[in-house]
Amino acid sequence: MRPLLLGIESSCDETAAAIVRGGRDILSSVVHSQAAMHALYGGVIPELAGRSHLQKILPVIDEALDQAGVRPADIDAVAVTTKPGLIGSLLVGVSAAKGWAWVHGKPLVPVHHIEAHIWAATMEHEEGASAELWPCIALVVSGGHSSIYRCDSPTAFVELARTRDDAAGEAFDKVAHLLGLPYPGGPSVSRLAEEGNPRAYDFPRYRAKDGGLGFSFSGLKTAVLYKVRGESQGGPLPPPEAIPDRADLAASFEQAVCDVLVEQTLVAARREGLRTVLIAGGVACNRRLREELRRKAERVGVRVLMPSPAYCTDNAVMVAGHGAVLLAEGRTAGLGLDAL
């Protein structure tokens, strides 16, 4: 059976719906991004996110059904992100999904946002459908998460490492702010970094003292701050045009982040004795990270699967896709489903 799922995602600043058949065949994907609205404030404002989700939730569901050319009666189940995320945002998607599913008499499938991101890395690849893909290592990097998982199956994950402070995407946002670049920081830092020398500054790369796995980006961010401020450490930040070598700072920062992410991921693969790595989350869009991971993984005989950029950032394709896997295991929920 290849069930047809409606997926709904509203955990942060994207309202999204998608129709996916059999966990892999993408019939439609609609994403309403709030990024431009939050950019005015330099980060996601939860109250504004909740207001926007409420306005957009029905239009994105309608459009996803229209684009896919399916009727509600054709849908076998409704998958919805229930955790983790902004609670006021999650509740909009969960409540709308419950109301819709209740009327149509469809099962509800609660989906973990991070597990859905990991599934997204397999969806567009032939080998992603193979049971031999598992177990594998997954690196999940976004504005809210930076973790490495051991994935024994599409529904069995063990976290091996996580950031001790900022998420990688959060570090990009903060450094973008220091450099006078717009939010979201990932794309804007990367654009500027293309003009710079990634070896111009030797920024610190985090390594745990006990040799364990893990990330930390706060020291790196502070190192960039010191470089930006130059000799006037106590004073205000200089205007962007007064920062010398801004492109070099961006490139060197980006290189340091990528080095840490790639190294720790490959160490995790080696320690676990696994030959496949998945990468997911918004930061997985980063071109330098994708290239470095591919190159260094190939050198040690590790295969890397990554989603196309459209499915790295938050979307509902991954929710509907992973929902099908959970549905096959009977992991549905009743009307008492809540966001966590």
Partner 1 sequence: MSVTHGLCLAIEASGRPASAAAHWAGRSLERVLVEERAHASDLLPAVDELVRELGTEPRSTTLVVVGTGPGSYTGLRVAIASALGICRAAHAQALGIPSGEALCWELGAEGELLTIVLDARSQGVTLASYRRVVQAGLAEIAVVQAPQWLPIAEARAHVALEGRVLVDATVPDLCGFEPALRARCSTVRPPRAAALLELGMARAARGQHTPLAELQPLYLRDFVPTTRKR
| Residues between 163 and 222 with contacts to partner 1, criterion CB under 8 A | 177-178, 180
Q: Candidates 92-100, 185-193, 305-313, 319-327 — which segment interacts with partner 1 by CB under 8 A? A: 92-100
Q: Candidates 11-19, 93-101, 150-158, 270-278 — which segment interacts with partner 1 by CB under 8 A? A: 93-101
Nearest by Cα to 319 from 59, 67, 81, 33: 81
Residue reference for tokens 């295991």: 329
Q: Which of 26, 92, 192, 277 binds partner 1 (CB under 8 A)?
A: 92
Beta strands in the chain, from DSSP E residues, in sequence order: 4-9, 14-21, 25-33, 77-83, 108-112, 136-141, 146-153, 156-162, 276-280, 303-305
According to DSSP, residue 132 is labeled: G
Q: Candidates 196-204, 215-223, 282-290, 329-337 — which segment interacts with partner 1 by CB under 8 A? A: 329-337
Q: Which of 234, 301, 330, 336 binds partner 1 (CB under 8 A)?
A: 336
CA atoms within 13 A on the CB side of 141: 28
According to DSSP, residue 125 is labeled: S
> From the CA atom positions of the chain, what is the Rg in Å?
20
State how beta strands 146-153 and 156-162 pair. antiparallel
Cα dihedral: 66, 70, 75, 81 (round 10): -30
Nearer to partner 1, 177 or 275 (CB): 177
Minimum distance of partner 1 from residue 31's CB (angstroms): 18
Structure tokens at 231: 């000799």
Q: Candidates 100-108, 138-146, 213-221, 270-278 — which segment interacts with partner 1 by CB under 8 A? A: 100-108
Minimum distance of partner 1 from residue 93's CB (angstroms): 8
Nearest by Cα to 337 from 5, 157, 78: 78
SS3 of 130, please? coil
| Residues between 41 and 60 with contacts to partner 1, criterion CB under 8 A | 41-43, 45, 47-48, 50-51, 54-55, 57-59
- Could you tell me how many residues of this chain bind partner 1 (CB under 8 A)? 45
Nearer to partner 1, 55 or 153 (CB): 55
Minimum distance of partner 1 from residue 7's CB (angstroms): 14
Minimum distance of partner 1 from residue 87's CB (angstroms): 8
Contact set with partner 1 (CB under 8 A)? 40-43, 45, 47-48, 50-51, 54-55, 57-59, 61-62, 72, 87-88, 91-105, 177-178, 180, 236-237, 334-339
